[in-house]
Structure 1
Amino acid sequence: MINSPQEVAHSSADIEVLTPGLFSTVQGIGLTGYRHLGIPIGGALDSHALILGNRLLGNPDNTHGIELTSGKVELKFNRDSWFVVTGAQYQISIGDRNIWSGWRNKIKAGETLTLKGPSSKMHAYLTIDGGIVQHSPLGIGGSTSQALGRGDRLQLGKTLSITKPIGAVQRGYCDEIRALPGPEMSLFTATSRKAFWHNRWQLTNASNRMGARLDGEALSLSAPKELNSHAVMPGVVQVPPSGQPIVLLADAQTTGGYPKIATVIEADLWKLAQTRPGQSIRFVHVSPSQADDANYEWQQYFYRLQRAMNGS
């Protein structure tokens, strides 16, 4: 079950899953403060897209929504609701009515929301006013990491006071991923260091919520080196013996022993979440101050959005 302080307003299921799509999961922005116990942060791979949807609805940033990966998703609503779809581009409809992505829309009790995609990027996020406070899989206990199944039931928090649609411009995809040098960067050969920053890397089909696995020129150490297991977190770029980098994502383990050649800055992790298998990316070297500036740009984006909503 999903524990939440939000009020559960209805005793029956507010949403019924008719068609679950491929690996659709209920996600928040992650759980912090427990990595020392071996518990991953988890949460949305593209947390900025989830926060955007919640902001447009007036939900707290950490309100749970549905992370969509691919395929057709059909959800029957049993209460009037407002919703937003952000992130990857999906075909969205209620009956024969087409819906815009990135806009706050209303659905009435008894209607079915259909989402098909993605046509671009990788993960979309469905947020709903009040948020998802309980996920009851058919016959077993709930978990935010468990994919939705046909017949699952979702319960929403208290209905919010929303009167009209509103939308926001979403980001375009960019294949340049800004990163800081990692603590073991100097252990790699000069050729490998140059290859990491100047070559392109293709995302493989082996990627998942734990890590983005890349394929390209194999990276190698100047000399064999045994490392003790050490703390890692989302964004860390590890290089296993294969020489092919792995960028750790939301569900990554809390410790690892592979050398860390770089760390993707927090402001750019969403780009990896929206990269599709077969697409390529390039790492761009930045300084700590540039990483801070990138995070500030996101803060300003959400600040301007809030100002616009307050004035609407």
Structure 2
Amino acid sequence: MINKLQKEVSLSSEDIEVLTPGLFSTVQGIGITGYRHLGIPIGGALDSHALLLGNRLLGNPDDTQGVELTSGKVELKFNRDSWFVVTGAQYQIFIGERNIWNGWRNRIKAGETLTLKGPSSKMRAYLTIDGGIIQHSPLNKQGSTSQMLVRGDRLQLGKPLPIAKPIGAVQRGYSDEIRALPGPEMSLFTAASRKAFWHNRWQLTNASNRMGARLNGEALSLSTANELNSHAVMPGVVQVPPSGQPIILLADAQTTGGYPKIATVIEADLWKLAQTRPGQTIRFVHVSPSQADDANYEWQQYFYRLQRAIDGS
């Protein structure tokens, strides 16, 4: 993907040149599995649903990589005719002076520059391109390097796809309610802390990143001091360090940790954390395992209906 990888492969004329990288722009896929025992996190897009939506609209395989955009102005020069989609956060999108819609597949010609400015709402957007972005590291084939793009980077594209016309999809409405299951150490916290966790609002801090969403609110405390051995953790786990301020682990988080786990955000709602801005507040909503399954089923139905619409277009 980036300069270091370019030394290993010959550059193709079918690529994208990064003219202006924006802030914290990275190439992301759906993440990798099978390496956690080596301490390697899952990684991948923080809002995997937005990435999947873009790939579905283009006819790409679900694990095709795109660019995760976080903030600022991004300018990309395309060196082949391409179809692309921008999903997730709302960006101003231009090809020259032409304004482009979010959530629709659009055509750009070789030699033209795509300009993205934002976000105007939510937090992260995803740029997907027909054929996808090719990376050559076996470890990152389906995941990410989490290496920020810089001016002059070249993103090699896969084989273009036979796409006939534009098509779009309605994107999800954001909600600040984050559904969660009680964690294995929930009972170790005081009754007041358990109540505060579920009933108070929590503010996302500026210290948040791809590793974790750091929250600020009423400090949570254990009933008695308790030393825990280091244990396996995964995205969605809500840990409470000695400060009493919860941290929700995200895609690039460590694979083990020793802080007590007060809750786990359900998989269907992890995308909301990717789209929450620092300074905004969230509220945890207690759900059961069956409700978590129902929420995942709703997403499956959303993408099933989307695929039916695409196939019939």
TM-score (norm 2): 0.94
Aligned equivalent of 2:110: 109
Structure 1 position 33, deviation (Å): 1.6
Q: SS of the counterpart of 1:291?
A: helix
Alignment partner of 1:237 is 2:232? no
Structure 1 position 172, deviation (Å): 1.1
Question: Would the aligned equivalents of 1:135 and 1:154 in 2 still touch at CA under 8 Å?
Answer: no
Structure 1 position 12, deviation (Å): 2.7
Aligned equivalent of 2:172: 171
CA distance in 2, matches of 1:134, 1:265: 30
Aligned equivalent of 1:139: none
Alignment of 1:227-306 (within 5 A): 227-306=228-307
Aligned equivalent of 2:20: 19
CA distance in 1, matches of 2:274, 2:208: 10
Which residue type is aligned with residue 53 of structure 1? G
Which residue type is aligned with residue 21 of structure 2? P
Question: Would the aligned equivalents of 2:178 and 2:284 in 1 still touch at CA under 8 Å?
Answer: yes
Structure 1 position 264, deviation (Å): 0.0
CA distance in 1, matches of 2:239, 2:169: 35
Structure 1 position 183, deviation (Å): 0.0
Question: Would the aligned equivalents of 2:14 and 2:80 in 1 still touch at CA under 8 Å?
Answer: no
Structure 1 position 10, deviation (Å): 7.3
TM-score (norm 1): 0.94
CA distance in 1, matches of 2:65, 2:136: 10
CA distance in 1, matches of 2:271, 2:46: 7
CA distance in 2, matches of 1:81, 1:297: 32
Post-superposition CA distance 1:110-152 (Å, at most 9, x none)? 100000000000000000000000389xxxxxx7211000011
Q: SS of the counterpart of 2:135?
A: strand
Alignment of 1:23-172 (within 5 A): 23-134=24-135, 144-172=145-173
Question: Would the aligned equivalents of 2:13 and 2:80 in 1 still touch at CA under 8 Å?
Answer: no
- Provide the identity percentage: 90
Structure 1 position 36, deviation (Å): 1.4
Structure 2 residues without counterparts, runs of 5 or longer: 3-8, 138-143
Which residue type is aligned with residue 64 of structure 1? Q
Structure 1 position 13, deviation (Å): 5.2
Post-superposition CA distance 1:21-56 (Å, at most 9, x none)? 001000001001211111100000000000000000
CA distance in 1, matches of 2:20, 2:174: 28
Question: Would the aligned equivalents of 1:9 and 1:156 in 2 still touch at CA under 8 Å?
Answer: no
Which residue type is aligned with residue 307 of structure 2? Q
Which residue type is aligned with residue 94 of structure 1? I
Aligned equivalent of 1:140: none
CA distance in 2, matches of 1:276, 1:176: 14
Question: Would the aligned equivalents of 2:241 and 2:260 in 1 still touch at CA under 8 Å?
Answer: yes
Alpha-carbon RMSD across the aligned residues, in angstroms, is 1.5
Which residue type is aligned with residue 280 of structure 2? Q
Which residue type is aligned with residue 171 of structure 1? R
Q: SS of the counterpart of 1:113?
A: strand
CA distance in 2, matches of 1:13, 1:158: 9
Q: SS of the counterpart of 2:134?
A: strand
Return structure 1 stretches of 4+ with deviation > 4 angstroms: none
Q: SS of the counterpart of 1:292?
A: helix
CA distance in 1, matches of 2:109, 2:145: 26
Post-superposition CA distance 1:180-218 (Å, at most 9, x none)? 000000000000000000000000000000000000000
Aligned equivalent of 2:6: none
Question: Would the aligned equivalents of 1:45 and 1:250 in 2 still touch at CA under 8 Å?
Answer: yes
